[in-house]
């Protein structure tokens, strides 16, 4: 399958297609603990591999840029190895990337995010990019936030979203090098109000207050098949968004939503 992935191209190869590119996609991840189940590269590689599949779907109209490999992970700092940026640093990086994209004549940018901790700063960045740089900007998730109905239907863990069966399954399908197959553990949840999931406020939870081993959900239930099914659904939903919002045209039959 053909795709335009910046890290796989020379500049003359890119230049051949520059006129056809309408949208730049930038994956955003983290360097963050994922329990015993997955490596520190999880969010970055998961976002990047998903973005590459979208690059194939939309060749040559979408350019896939290199991922932002660090994110906002203050809430995981009590687990060894996690590295965090400050929210301002992270959003400034995204704005700088957008400026460069615009310099090369591409006026639309979509951040493909795979890390929950980045959400608020992504909101700040797309607001600045849209209104200060006069570009069309958005961000979209890569996992559970795009498939909660699917999770319900499959009867998977209610407390999920990090190193859980969903994320591990998606990695088994998209980026199996991230998965510690022999070490998979169910999340060892601590008793906190977080588990009630009935909140009207937003709280910056610390992960070591929520879980002993750094995981949520139950990674022992993860399968490649589940990951494939979930990823295909997510690709369809992101595909719909790209067509309808960025290209202002009806989504192709394969991405039509019910």
x-or-dash string of contact with Zn ion, 90-129, rule CB under 5 A: ----------------------------------------
Token output for 49: 């591999």
Minimum Å distance from CB 42 to Zn ion?
5
Minimum Å distance from CB 141 to Zn ion?
11
Closest CA to 146 of 123, 113, 169, 179: 113
If the CB atoms of residues 43 and 45 are measured against Zn ion, the closer one turns out to be 43
Minimum Å distance from CB 119 to Zn ion?
13
- Long-range contacts, 208-213 (Cβ 8 Å, 24+): 208/78, 208/79, 211/35, 211/187, 212/188, 213/35, 213/36, 213/185, 213/187, 213/188
If the CB atoms of residues 21 and 216 are measured against Zn ion, the closer one turns out to be 216
Report the DSSP pairing between strands 136-140 and 62-64: unpaired
If the CB atoms of residues 176 and 252 are measured against Zn ion, the closer one turns out to be 176
**Residue count at the site for Zn ion (CB under 5 A)?**
2
Q: What are phi and psi of 179, to 5 degrees?
A: -95, 130
SS3 71: strand
Q: Is position 45 an interface residue for Zn ion (rule: CB under 5 A)?
A: no
Minimum Å distance from CB 44 to Zn ion?
9
If the CB atoms of residues 42 and 113 are measured against Zn ion, the closer one turns out to be 42
Measuring CA to CA, how many Å separate 97 from each of 93, 94, 109, 125? 6, 5, 9, 11
Minimum Å distance from CB 255 to Zn ion?
25
Segment near Zn ion (CB under 5 A), from 34-42, 54-62, 65-73, 124-132?
34-42
Minimum Å distance from CB 116 to Zn ion?
8
CB 30 within 8 A of CB 44: yes
Torsion of CA 202, 206, 209, 214, to 10 degrees: 120
Q: Is position 43 an interface residue for Zn ion (rule: CB under 5 A)?
A: yes
Q: Is position 218 an interface residue for Zn ion (rule: CB under 5 A)?
A: no
Residue ranges in contact with Zn ion by CB under 5 A: 42-43
């Amino acid at each position: 399958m053909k795709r335009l992935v910046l890290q796989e191209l020379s500049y003359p190869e890119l230049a051949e297609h520059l006129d056809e590119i309408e949208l730049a996609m930038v994956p955003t991840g983290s360097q963050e603990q994922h329990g015993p189940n997955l490596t520190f590269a999880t969010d970055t590689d998961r976002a990047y591999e998903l973005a590459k599949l979208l690059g194939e779907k939309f060749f040559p109209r979408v350019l896939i840029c290199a991922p932002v490999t660090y994110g906002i992970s203050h809430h995981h700092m009590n687990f060894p190895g996690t590295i965090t940026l400050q929210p301002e640093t992270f959003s400034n990086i995204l704005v700088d990337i957008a400026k460069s994209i615009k310099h090369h004549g591409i006026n639309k940018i979509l951040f493909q995010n795979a890390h929950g901790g980045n959400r608020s700063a992504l909101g700040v960045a797309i607001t600045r990019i849209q209104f200060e740089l006069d570009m069309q900007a958005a961000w979209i998730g890569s996992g559970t936030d795009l498939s909660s109905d699917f999770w319900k239907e499959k009867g998977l863990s209610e407390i999920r979203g990090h190193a859980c069966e969903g994320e591990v399954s998606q990695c088994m399908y998209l980026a199996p090098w991230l998965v510690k197959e022999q070490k998979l553990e169910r999340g060892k949840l601590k008793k906190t109000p977080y588990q009630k999931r009935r909140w009207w406020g937003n709280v910056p939870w610390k992960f070591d207050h929520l879980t002993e081993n750094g995981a949520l959900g139950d990674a022992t239930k993860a399968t490649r098949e589940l990951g494939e099914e979930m990823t295909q659904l997510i690709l369809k939903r992101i595909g719909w968004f790209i067509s309808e919002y960025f290209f202002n045209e009806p989504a192709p039959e394969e991405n039509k939503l019910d």
